[in-house]
Chain A
Amino acid sequence: MNDTIKNKVVTLAFLLVLVGLFLLNLISPPQAISFSERRKLQQFPAFSFAKLVNRKWFKEFERYSLDQFFGREQLRQLKAVTVFHLFRQKDNNGIYFLNGHLFKMEYPLREQSVIKAAQKFNNIAQTYLQGMNVFYAIIPDKNYFAAAPNGYPALDYRRLVELMQQNIEKMQYIDLFSCLSLSDYYRTDLHWRQECLQPVVAQLAHSIGLPPTVAEVEYTTVVKYPFYGAYFGQAALPLAPEELIYLTNAAIEDAVVYYYDNKEYGKVYAAEKFGQIDSYDLFLSGAVALLTIENPQAHTDRELIIFRDSYGSSLAPLLLAGYRKITLVDLRYLAANKLGEFIEFKNQDVLFLYNTLILNHSEMLS
């Protein structure tokens, strides 16, 4: 190839990419949702003269051009591969890949945030939970098992637990760190696997004073595939999806869930949620401010209130054997000062169950 031909090839290739993608962007129908990123995509902005002059229209158009770019998912994958394999960077947008697992970096420890979380729990306990059996447990995020040993910056987990213990009043701490390992979590998601939670259930049952049989209940497993975890889309790496397994039995099947948000009854496992924007919403329909699970097959009148995040959704069904009713409260969506309007506090067991990511960002708790 001589210089003249090369110049023509360079010019034509450049114009082909530029004009070709321009035309493809024009004719491609806009997508409503990005499943991999779990968010709505910007649509073509409505035009107005005011929005033009104050640049709002241009800003919206910029978001639209990014969100609706032709071959967006493939390009994000190209970027991830370039970051990890060409530039040998250790993370892409804070996501790193190690031992078959995807992780999202979380550091440094925000001590004030942890202290505020503890204070928030204390306030709730003081206002509503006087004289009740109150426990708290901390769920380690995945980084606990892999970050520090592999040279990734990580939270000081020992300090986090220490801060909670120093600042929480009149509650019993239940250690879950020793019950879990990395294999108990999904490879492409932040959550733990329900089928691996038997040691956690046993530890909770023992600490709360439930019969040991609660941790020995038999379940049948249901496998759902393909499961793409939250980090799968963020990482944009060419990885295989995994199986989501949930445990069920007659008691769980008979259990009745009441969702206060929309005042509707439902089942423990919302199978229709699988394959939607977040498949983990299969467990108790995902992010819900307040719900109760009634167990008609219960041989006890004990009740449990769990202040929880999304990890609690997959754990609660496994505690059903020990309770007639479990109430789940998500303080991210329900303000603490409104609790009395919805919950009658009497002699229930109470468990504050939060993962380390929430404690490190306790501003999310209202």
Chain B
Amino acid sequence: MVFASIVFLYYYLPLVLIAYFFAPHRAKNTVLLLASLFFYFYGEPVYLILMLIAAYSAYRHGLYIDKFRGRKYARLLLVSSLVVSIGLLVFFKYADFLLANINVLFNTNFARLNLVQPIGISFYTFQILSYTIEVYRDQVKVQKSFAKFLLYVSFFPQLIAGPIVRYTTVAADLESRTHSWVGFAGGVRRFIIGLAKKVLLANVLGELCSSFKMSDEKSVLFFWLYALAFTLQIYFDFSGYSDMAIGMGKFFGFRFPENFNYPYIAKSITEFWRRWHISLSTWFRDFLYIPLGGNRVSTPRWLFNVLVVWLATGLWHGAAWNFVVWGLAFACLLVLEKYFLRSFLSKLPPFLVHFYVIFCVMLSFFIFNAESINDALSSLQAMLGLAGLPLCSTETLYYLQSYAVVISAAVVGSTPLPKLAAEKLKSIKHGRLLINLAEPVVLTALLLIVTAYLVDGSFNPFLYFRF
């Protein structure tokens, strides 16, 4: 079940909200747990068992690690827990990729398993890993209740698309949390904005991307238009989902971490990754990069650490070589920035620095979204006018005109300008009153328009659904 669907918005969510707020205080976690298990069952009936096994394994390992704390068994138990969690992830997500590469490397003929990847396995596995590692490090108190631990793993707002919530972030909220008008209204605001980002911008830009892919009349300009549209689509798609997750967390009194901070205003790739998918990059920083030694090591070792982290980041996004290349491309850019580009970029006018970041990100998403490495290379060739395509075509101009407003809205929406404008308005006389009057109207109108789009259309993919 995706959040931006009629079933979720007008059947599942109202029922969960009613059941949650009418349930007695001590039954609220049970309501959320049952709702979350049903949510997962709805998407993957069979793989619910897999998630339960993964969660139970981590839960038991956590208990034993705590029990044997300070003894050598604790380390063994941590390793055992990691093997189970990562093993399940590797088996269900990477088995076919590994087999295909083994067949190529060793000229073998292992049959593919053709497993359907369980929804959200990358997200919940990383949450589980963070829990067991933090319990081992004694950074968090072990959870004695399996129900509460399972709720942490399976909580539906962040189950399928993150943000990757550390156990430490929600440990206190799992035990006790407060509900307030201000909290719920903040959640509504965040949820509807996320929903609008997803349905009104990401999905519409996705239609443009689909039109590009189906087009027989491509041009150089059309390739650039597609690159821009996909770059915006993936941001609004993913950040929209994160907004919805954070908003729904607030409905139920949970505080989730931010996952995006206007990544497209970054002035370097290093900064971009501090603003993009923050919960993933901080996860890799804390649980892989720093344990490997971080940057307090020799230069060759640091290069190795960066390579490992970005190889893992690439592979986390998908079991294919284009994701590996995508991750390694960022590793190269980060190294280049650290040793060569930083001083050069600091001397450039801001718009050129910005262009550099957007250009690199756009190209990276071309690789990200390519069906193969060859596909990515031929697309890059076409973008640079080396594929013998015309500069423009009737079809390109049509789509440029047709999507001009949506693209403009998306470009402005990817910057802090709307937020700054609202803050500026608040500071003038009667500005706050105006905003307070307009906000409920605008939010309700957005919800109805989103509903209209969902009722009318069936085009509603989610790019991060299988991660």
Residues of A within 8 A of B (CB): 1-11, 13-15, 17-19, 21-22, 25, 52-55, 58, 61-62, 65-66, 69, 72, 75-76, 78-80, 82, 86-91, 93, 107-108, 148, 151-153, 236
Let me know if A151 and B397 touch, CB within 8 A: yes
Provide the residues of chain B in CB contact with A108, threshold 8 Å: 215-217
Let me know if B449 and A82 touch, CB within 8 A: yes
Across the two chains, which residue of chain A brings its CB closest to B441?
Answer: A13
Across the two chains, which residue of chain B brings its CB closest to A70?
Answer: B10
Q: Considering the complex, which residues of chain B in the window 147-186 have a beta carbon less than 8 Å from any beta carbon of chain A?
A: 181-182, 184-186
Per-residue interface assignment for chain B, residues 420 to 453, with 1 indicating a CB less than 8 Å from any chain A CB and 0 otherwise = 0000000000000100110110011001110111
Let me know if B448 and A79 touch, CB within 8 A: no
Shortest CB-to-CB span from B445 to chain A, Å, is 10
Let me know if B15 and A4 touch, CB within 8 A: no
B69 interface hit (Cβ, 8 Å)? no
Let me know if B436 and A11 touch, CB within 8 A: no
Cβ contact of B443, chosen from A14, A61, A88, A148, cutoff 8 A:
A14
Could you show 15 A-B contacts with beta carbons less than 8 Å apart?
A: A3-B182, A8-B185, A13-B444, A14-B444, A17-B447, A17-B451, A53-B45, A55-B45, A62-B5, A69-B6, A76-B452, A78-B448, A89-B402, A91-B402, A153-B217
Let me know if B448 and A17 touch, CB within 8 A: yes
Contacts A7-B186, A79-B457, A151-B398 known; list 14 others, CB within 8 Å: A11-B184, A13-B444, A14-B443, A14-B447, A18-B13, A58-B7, A62-B7, A66-B455, A75-B448, A75-B452, A82-B449, A87-B405, A93-B457, A108-B215
Provide the residues of chain B in CB contact with A107, threshold 8 Å: 395
Provide the residues of chain A in CB contact with B458, threshold 8 Å: 66
Shortest CB-to-CB span from B288 to chain A, Å, is 35
Question: Most chain-B CB neighbours within 10 Å: which of A7, A8, A88, A108?
Answer: A7
B14 interface hit (Cβ, 8 Å)? yes
Interface pairs A-B: 5 shortest CB-CB = A7-B185, A79-B452, A22-B14, A90-B402, A78-B452
Let me know if A1 and B217 touch, CB within 8 A: no
Shortest CB-to-CB span from B163 to chain A, Å, is 22
Let me know if B455 and A1 touch, CB within 8 A: no
Provide the residues of chain A in CB contact with B216, threshold 8 Å: 108
B404 interface hit (Cβ, 8 Å)? yes
Assembly CA distance A213 to B108 (angstroms): 79
Let me know if A7 and B181 touch, CB within 8 A: yes
Let me know if A21 and B10 touch, CB within 8 A: yes
Shortest CB-to-CB span from B25 to chain A, Å, is 20
Cβ contact of A76, chosen from B5, B192, B455, cutoff 8 A:
B455
Provide the residues of chain B in CB contact with A82, threshold 8 Å: 449, 452-453
Assembly CA distance A347 to B453 (angstroms): 56
Across the two chains, which residue of chain A brings its CB closest to B437?
Answer: A1
Across the two chains, which residue of chain A brings its CB closest to B13?
Answer: A18
Provide the residues of chain A in CB contact with B13, threshold 8 Å: 18
B97 interface hit (Cβ, 8 Å)? no
Question: Most chain-B CB neighbours within 10 Å: which of A4, A53, A87?
Answer: A87
Question: Most chain-A CB neighbours within 10 Å: which of B13, B204, B398, B401?
Answer: B398
Cβ contact of A6, chosen from B204, B394, B440, cutoff 8 A:
B440
Let me know if A88 and B405 touch, CB within 8 A: yes
Assembly CA distance A21 to B447 (angstroms): 12
Assembly CA distance A361 to B449 (angstroms): 34
Let me know if A89 and B406 touch, CB within 8 A: yes
Let me know if A19 and B401 touch, CB within 8 A: no
Provide the residues of chain B in CB contact with A1, threshold 8 Å: 433, 436-437
Assembly CA distance A236 to B452 (angstroms): 11
Let me know if A10 and B439 touch, CB within 8 A: yes
Assembly CA distance A1 to B432 (angstroms): 9
Assembly CA distance A54 to B116 (angstroms): 13
Q: Known interface pairs A3-B436, A17-B444, A93-B457. Does A65 touch B7 (Cβ–Cβ under 8 Å)?
A: yes
B9 interface hit (Cβ, 8 Å)? yes
Across the two chains, which residue of chain A brings its CB closest to B443?
Answer: A10
Shortest CB-to-CB span from B183 to chain A, Å, is 9
B403 interface hit (Cβ, 8 Å)? yes
Shortest CB-to-CB span from A5 to chain B, Å, is 8
Provide the residues of chain A in CB contact with B17, threshold 8 Å: 15, 18-19
Let me know if A11 and B217 touch, CB within 8 A: no
Provide the residues of chain B in CB contact with A78, threshold 8 Å: 448-449, 452
Provide the residues of chain B in CB contact with A22, threshold 8 Å: 10-11, 14-15
Assembly CA distance A181 to B398 (angstroms): 24
Assembly CA distance A6 to B185 (angstroms): 8
Question: Most chain-A CB neighbours within 10 Å: which of B186, B395, B436, B452?
Answer: B452
Assembly CA distance A10 to B189 (angstroms): 8
Let me know if B204 and A87 touch, CB within 8 A: yes
Q: Considering the complex, which residues of chain B in the window 386-405 have a beta carbon less than 8 Å from any beta carbon of chain A?
A: 394-395, 397-398, 401-405
Let me know if B453 and A7 touch, CB within 8 A: no
Q: Considering the complex, which residues of chain B in the window 316-356 have a beta carbon less than 8 Å from any beta carbon of chain A?
A: none
Let me know if A236 and B456 touch, CB within 8 A: yes
Shortest CB-to-CB span from B47 to chain A, Å, is 11
Assembly CA distance A119 to B379 (angstroms): 36
Across the two chains, which residue of chain B brings its CB closest to A15?
Answer: B17
Shortest CB-to-CB span from B142 to chain A, Å, is 35
Shortest CB-to-CB span from B406 to chain A, Å, is 5
Across the two chains, which residue of chain B brings its CB closest to A153?
Answer: B395
Let me know if B455 and A75 touch, CB within 8 A: yes
Shortest CB-to-CB span from A154 to chain B, Å, is 8
B297 interface hit (Cβ, 8 Å)? no
Assembly CA distance A336 to B437 (angstroms): 67
B4 interface hit (Cβ, 8 Å)? no
Provide the residues of chain B in CB contact with A15, threshold 8 Å: 17
Let me know if A153 and B18 touch, CB within 8 A: no
Across the two chains, which residue of chain A brings its CB closest to B395?
Answer: A153
Shortest CB-to-CB span from B360 to chain A, Å, is 29
Let me know if B7 and A6 touch, CB within 8 A: no
Shortest CB-to-CB span from B244 to chain A, Å, is 13
Across the two chains, which residue of chain A brings its CB closest to B6?
Answer: A65
Provide the residues of chain A in CB contact with B447, threshold 8 Å: 14, 17
Across the two chains, which residue of chain B brings its CB closest to A24?
Answer: B10
Cβ contact of A61, chosen from B7, B204, B405, B451, cutoff 8 A:
B7
Shortest CB-to-CB span from A318 to chain B, Å, is 37
Across the two chains, which residue of chain B brings its CB closest to A17?
Answer: B447
Provide the residues of chain A in CB contact with B204, threshold 8 Å: 87, 89
Across the two chains, which residue of chain A brings its CB closest to B201?
Answer: A87
Let me know if A25 and B7 touch, CB within 8 A: no
Across the two chains, which residue of chain B brings its CB closest to A96?
Answer: B402
Shortest CB-to-CB span from B218 to chain A, Å, is 11
Shortest CB-to-CB span from B205 to chain A, Å, is 11
B91 interface hit (Cβ, 8 Å)? no
Provide the residues of chain A in CB contact with B452, threshold 8 Å: 75-76, 78-79, 82
Shortest CB-to-CB span from B411 to chain A, Å, is 14
Let me know if B453 and A79 touch, CB within 8 A: yes
Assembly CA distance A148 to B443 (angstroms): 39
Assembly CA distance A17 to B9 (angstroms): 10
Shortest CB-to-CB span from A52 to chain B, Å, is 7
Q: Considering the complex, which residues of chain B in the window 1-56 have a beta carbon less than 8 Å from any beta carbon of chain A?
A: 1, 5-7, 9-11, 13-15, 17-18, 42, 45-46
